[in-house]
Amino acid sequence: MALIPRDIDTRLVLGIESSCDEMAAAVLRGPSEILSSCVHSQDWVHEPYGGVVPELASRDHVRAVSAVVEAALSEAHVSLDDVSAVAVTAGPGLVGSLLVGLSFAKALAYRCGLPLVGVHHLSGHLASAELADPSLRPPYVGLVVSGGHTALYRVAEAGEVKLLGETRDDAAGEAFDKVAALLGLPYPGGPSLARAAEEGDEHAVDFPRPLLGSPGLDFSYSGLKTAVAVEVERRGRLTPREVADIAASFQAAAVDVLVARARRALGDQGLLQLAVVGGVAANQRLRGALEQAGREEGFRVSFPPLALCTDNAAMIAAAGLRELSRGRRDGLDLNAFSRAPLQGGAVAGGS
């Protein structure tokens, strides 16, 4: 196997991400130069079912993985001979989907004699903040908010992370998607709900803000989702105006909790930097509320561009490069995992 190159600033890392319903590949030069980032979406596959079907997701990944990696190399104007290492998402996520990307990455690394490093998906999301904003430096609070995860972390020097609080039930993005389905909005639900909310009155329905007044930094979204379901059932057939009002009211409640918890985390940690990552970080209502809070309280908020909020491989390459720079690499026995806590940014059990 090839030795890990010493020059981190010019190293080319191929990243592969397949944790859910996107197959993605990217080429990163050094810590922050994205040479390519290609994402193959499966919205058309899952739209008839109103949500991700794991078996269909993994089957489509099998069909797409080779072409997506080739597209990333082509867009970057490099060949495999130029690549210094391969970084791949090992989990958490849908195991079938993960195994497709992981198996391809292991075969590629073996064939080309390249170092391989497995990346925790949440480590990738957190890495996207510094990838997009090189001026962001630890320590800071990271808010990961997506379809599968809602958590607050303290990101310290050397990429070490400490969990501060997480959801006790549903993730915020999952609640967005399920409420969108209740309102009859098209798939994917989160973006559709945000668009509908633009036409509504966020004060129309006083939905609960779960755990808002409770101590600690945990989240809960199952009760809010249930409150929306009860309201929809009570009203029966909804008019377009009612759909917009309920969407806006739900979104306001969900965002209020995220903002309040983030503010508390910053205060508890004595920090003035917040990085917001994950698919829900693309939500404009959330961005506006946190930016307003930052102006009022004097903290800085960093959001990745929209393309780096949703699942992508550039963030996996960035997180992988950090691990490689510490001398870490994984063997061909690296396996996928559906669930595991984020431990210092590394994959649990990584060598």
Contact between residue 211 and residue 220 where contact means Cβ atoms under 8 Å apart:
yes
Supply the angle between the helices 95-112 and 54-76 in degrees, to the nearest 10.
30
Let me know whether 189 and 277 are in one domain.
yes
273 DSSP β-pair partners: 300
Model confidence over 68-126: pLDDT tens digits?
A: 999 999 999 999 999 999 999 999 999 999 999 999 999 999 999 999 999 999 999 99
Task: In whole angstroms, give the CA distance from residue 296 to residue 140.
Answer: 18
Task: In whole angstroms, give the CA distance from residue 7 to residue 291.
Answer: 37
CA dihedral sign, ordered 194, 152, 275, 345: negative
Confidence of residue 8 (pLDDT cuts 50, 70, 90): low
Let me know whether 152 and 202 are in one domain.
yes
- At residue 1, does pLDDT exceed 50? no
- At residue 10, does pLDDT exceed 90? no
Model confidence over 101-113: pLDDT tens digits?
A: 999 999 999 999 9
Model confidence over 144-191: pLDDT tens digits?
A: 999 999 999 999 986 689 999 999 999 999 999 999 999 999 999 999
Domain that holds residue 147: 137-303
Let me know whether 102 and 228 are in one domain.
no
Let me know whether 26 and 62 are in one domain.
yes
Model confidence over 321-335: pLDDT tens digits?
A: 999 998 999 999 999
Residue 158 lies in a domain: yes
Say what the pLDDT of residue 105 is.
98
Residue 84 lies in a domain: yes
Amino acid symbol at 252: A
Cβ neighbours around 31 below 10 Å, total: 18
Say what the pLDDT of residue 351 is.
38
- At residue 320, does pLDDT exceed 60? yes
Let me know whether 159 and 88 are in one domain.
no
Say what the pLDDT of residue 131 is.
95
- At residue 349, does pLDDT exceed 50? no
Let me know whether 96 and 153 are in one domain.
no
Residue 111 lies in a domain: yes
Residue 340 lies in a domain: no
Let me know whether 50 and 149 are in one domain.
no
Q: Kindly report the length of the chain.
A: 351
SS3 at position 337? coil
Nearest of 290, 296, 250, 297 to residue 272 by alpha carbon? 297
Let me know whether 33 and 48 are in one domain.
yes
Let me know whether 121 and 152 are in one domain.
no
CATH of residue 77:
3.30.420.40
Number of domains in the chain: 2
Residue 335 lies in a domain: no
Nearest of 43, 30, 70, 55 to residue 311 by alpha carbon? 43
Confidence of residue 5 (pLDDT cuts 50, 70, 90): very low
Confidence of residue 7 (pLDDT cuts 50, 70, 90): low
Task: In whole angstroms, give the CA distance from residue 177 to residue 192.
Answer: 9
Residue 6 lies in a domain: no
DSSP class per residue in 144-184: EESSS-EEEEEE-GGG-EEEEEEBSS--HHHHHHHHHHHTT
Let me know whether 193 and 288 are in one domain.
yes
Task: In whole angstroms, give the CA distance from residue 273 to residue 129.
Answer: 11
Model confidence over 180-224: pLDDT tens digits?
A: 999 999 999 999 999 999 999 999 999 999 999 899 999 999 999
Say what the pLDDT of residue 347 is.
54
Single pTM value for the model: 0.93
Say what the pLDDT of residue 9 is.
61
Say what the pLDDT of residue 344 is.
58
Let me know whether 162 and 298 are in one domain.
yes
Residue 347 lies in a domain: no
Let me know whether 63 and 150 are in one domain.
no
Q: What is the mean pLDDT of the chain?
A: 94
Residue 43 lies in a domain: yes
Residues 225-247, mean pLDDT to the nearest whole number: 97
